[in-house]
């Protein structure tokens, strides 16, 4: 087959296709319309999506601005809070410094107050101890210890525990002693000393009795002369002779000077008894009281009311419990001084 024949064979089938060109064109136009419509629809959707996205972006931008405003307000509030916190912290530090200063001042004041209290207690105990040892004044010592115990009860300090125990122990010892009213006994002795000068002597009573017997009752003027004469003779004999029973005749031989020294000796005996009472010397006290009673019973008129009362008062002085050993307050004083030494450290 030749080349021309081949070309004719190839071109031969194409000829009938030229007869329907409009269908393809319509198909192409339809496809193009569909594609245009899809493109338009897609553009509409894209525009809608763009608008929605823009709206949402606008809303997000507004919310972001609001959030930023809230965040800025929160930052401002945080900064204000930080400033307030710094101010509070500064005030706390200042208060802590003031507290430390006040605590130090309180400790110093407490220490000084404790030292002052211990010094006062030591002074009180020293005076009470002197009164107890020198004068035997148990009641004063008990009162002093009770006052000290009441003062110590108001303070709850560890360094005062030993002092409280020592004071309580000494107070119990003093309260266990027999009661002796040394002040009352001293007042009675002073009263007896003042009453010595008013006691009548036996010789004074004898002279008064003789004077009373020398002046009998006068007879009436209407009595017979012999009765009046007999009475005068009896009176004259009575002045010359006086008969009286006397157990201790030496009491009638006292001169006025001897009577003066007798009264002074009686006062000296009572004064010695008073000193023995203050010194708690029971033997000397009993001897002086017995000697005073002996003087009064021997040389003074025991029947006189003043003498009877004087001897009754003297009897109240006898039997006073002086022969007892008084405790000292050395333990309390030692406890106070130990507490002072511990406080000074």
Q: What is the mean pLDDT of the chain?
A: 76
Give the pLDDT band (50/70/90) at residue 291: very high
Region 224-247 average pLDDT:
61
Give the pLDDT band (50/70/90) at residue 266: very high
Residue 3 in this model has a pLDDT that exceeds 90: no
Residue 126 in this model has a pLDDT that exceeds 80: yes
User: To the nearest whole percent, how much of the chain has pLDDT over 70?
Assistant: 73
Residue 144 in this model has a pLDDT that exceeds 70: yes
Chain center to CA of 210 = 73
Higher pLDDT, 238 or 214: 238
| pTM assigned to the model | 0.45
Higher pLDDT, 2 or 274: 274
Contact 171, 146 (CB under 8 A): yes
User: To the nearest whole percent, how much of the chain has pLDDT over 90?
Assistant: 10
Residue 9 in this model has a pLDDT that exceeds 60: no
Give the pLDDT band (50/70/90) at residue 319: confident
Each residue's pLDDT tens digit, 240-249: 554 445 455 5
Each residue's pLDDT tens digit, 191-224: 999 999 888 887 665 554 444 444 445 556 666 7
Residue 321 in this model has a pLDDT that exceeds 90: no
Each residue's pLDDT tens digit, 303-313: 889 999 999 99
The pLDDT value given to residue 247: 52
The pLDDT value given to residue 238: 56
Region 297-321 average pLDDT:
87
What does the DSSP 8-state code read for residue 157?
A: -
Which among 316, 327, 326, 324 has a CA at the least distance from the CA of 273?
316
DSSP string, 50-107: HHHHHHHHHHHHHHHHHHHHHHHHHHHHHHHHHHHHHHHHHHHHHHHHHHHHHHHHHH
Q: What share of the chain is helix, strand, coil (3-state, %, to 5)?
A: 80, 0, 15
From residue 202, alpha-carbon distances to 171, 197, 238, 297, 299 in Å are 51, 14, 20, 10, 6
Residue 275 in this model has a pLDDT that exceeds 70: yes
The pLDDT value given to residue 21: 54
Which among 165, 178, 168, 188 has a CA at the least distance from the CA of 139?
178
The pLDDT value given to residue 177: 76
Region 128-137 average pLDDT:
76
The pLDDT value given to residue 208: 47
Residue 81 in this model has a pLDDT that exceeds 60: yes
Q: Which of 47-56, 133-142, 303-312, 335-344 has the highest mean pLDDT?
A: 303-312
Contacts 24+ apart (CB under 8 A), 144-150: 145/170, 145/171, 145/174, 145/329, 145/332, 146/171, 148/121, 148/124, 148/332
Q: Checking phi first, is residue 319 left (phi over 0); if not, alpha (psi -120 to 50) or beta?
A: left
């Amino acid at each position: 087959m030749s080349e021309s024949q081949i070309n004719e064979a190839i071109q031969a089938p194409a000829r009938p296709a030229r007869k329907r060109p409009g269908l393809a064109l319509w198909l192409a136009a339809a496809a193009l319309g569909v594609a245009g419509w899809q493109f338009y629809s897609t553009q509409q959707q894209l525009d809608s999506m763009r608008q929605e996205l823009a709206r949402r972006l606008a809303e997000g931008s507004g919310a972001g601005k609001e959030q930023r405003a809230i965040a800025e307000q929160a930052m401002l509030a945080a900064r204000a809070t930080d400033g307030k916190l710094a101010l509070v912290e500064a005030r706390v530090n200042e208060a802590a410094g003031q507290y430390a200063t006040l605590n130090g001042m309180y400790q110093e004041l407490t220490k000084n107050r404790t030292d002052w209290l211990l010094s006062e207690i030591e002074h009180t105990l020293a005076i009470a101890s002197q009164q107890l040892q020198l004068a035997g004044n148990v009641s004063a010592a008990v009162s002093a210890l009770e006052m000290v115990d009441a003062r110590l009860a108001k303070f709850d300090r560890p360094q005062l525990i030993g002092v409280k125990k020592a004071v309580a122990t000494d107070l119990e010892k003093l309260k266990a002693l027999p009661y002796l009213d040394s002040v009352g006994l001293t007042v009675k002795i002073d009263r007896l000393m003042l009453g010595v000068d008013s006691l009548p002597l036996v010789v004074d009573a004898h002279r008064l009795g003789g004077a009373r017997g020398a002046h009998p009752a006068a007879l009436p003027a209407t009595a017979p002369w012999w009765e009046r004469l007999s009475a005068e003779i009896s009176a004259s004999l009575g002045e010359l002779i006086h008969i009286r029973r006397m157990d201790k005749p030496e009491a009638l031989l006292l001169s006025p000077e001897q009577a003066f020294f007798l009264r002074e000796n009686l006062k000296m005996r009572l004064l010695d008894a008073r000193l023995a009472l203050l010194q708690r010397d029971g033997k000397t006290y009993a001897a002086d009281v017995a000697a005073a009673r002996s003087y009064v019973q021997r040389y003074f008129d025991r029947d006189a009311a003043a003498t009877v009362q004087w001897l009754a008062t003297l009897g109240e002085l006898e039997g006073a419990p002086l022969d007892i050993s008084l405790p000292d307050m050395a333990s309390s004083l030692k406890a106070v001084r130990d507490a002072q030494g511990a406080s000074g450290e």
